[in-house]
Homo-oligomer: A and B are copies of this chain.
Amino acid sequence: MKSFDLSLYLVTDRSLALDRSLEYVVEEAVQGGISMVQLREKDCTTKEFYELAMRLKKVLEPYHVPLIINDRVDIALACDAEGVHIGQSDMPYAIARKLLGKEKIIGLSVENLQDAIDANAFDIDYIGISPVFNTATKTDTATALGLEGVHDITQISRHPAVGIGGIHPSNAGDIITAGAVGISVVSAIMSAVSPRDAASQLRSIIDKVRS
């Protein structure tokens, strides 16, 4: 049985890290309460991506926080990450599952109700509802789904869901109330003066809403 905690899920973006190392920001964030980390870095070579993944794995292992690799099944295999997160334009999930095996975590981005309905037939471990709100971080995404979208999708989905896109302390609780089991954040942590405090604040909000 795979065990993972989607409640507070950090998605990386080095370009938002205010010139701090990714390892530093991620470790601070984990100490503040991040339960899962996705390495998502688009502008790097395969070698850089691999080396970054190996370094993050080393940071995360002592905390037992799973490392998920965005898109690249080869990087996930190379560093024995806990899983991959795939979008609608990435490797078809069935191929990813075949290459990774049953024990690894596979998350899939869903951008509308139909994606979520389709995903019910898939052997995946969670869905990422993307984007909940408009965001400057990710520019290649579909129309913002809003809290109503989170509600509708989580109602029909058989998979646990995290919301991603434009999530901050002021709206984090609403995403959980709308039906998601967790929230994904990028800039709210990556660009925080104290990633630890930012994670800790979001952790409190989530724990409060869930209790």
Chain A residues in contact with chain B, CB under 8 A? 45-48, 50, 71-74, 77-78, 86, 88-92, 95, 99
Contacts and interface: CB of A to CB of B under 8 A. Distances in A.
Cβ-closest 3 pairs across A and B: A74-B74, A45-B89, A73-B74
Contacts of A92: 47, 50
Residue from A89, A90, A91 whose CB has the most chain B CB atoms within 10 Å = A91
A78 B86 CA distance: 15
A120 B158 CA distance: 52
Contacts of A45: 89-90
Contacts of A91: 46-47, 50, 74, 78
A77 B98 CA distance: 10
Nearest to A90: B46
A63 B92 CA distance: 27
Given A47-B92, A74-B99, 5 more contacts: A46-B72, A46-B90, A47-B88, A47-B91, A78-B95
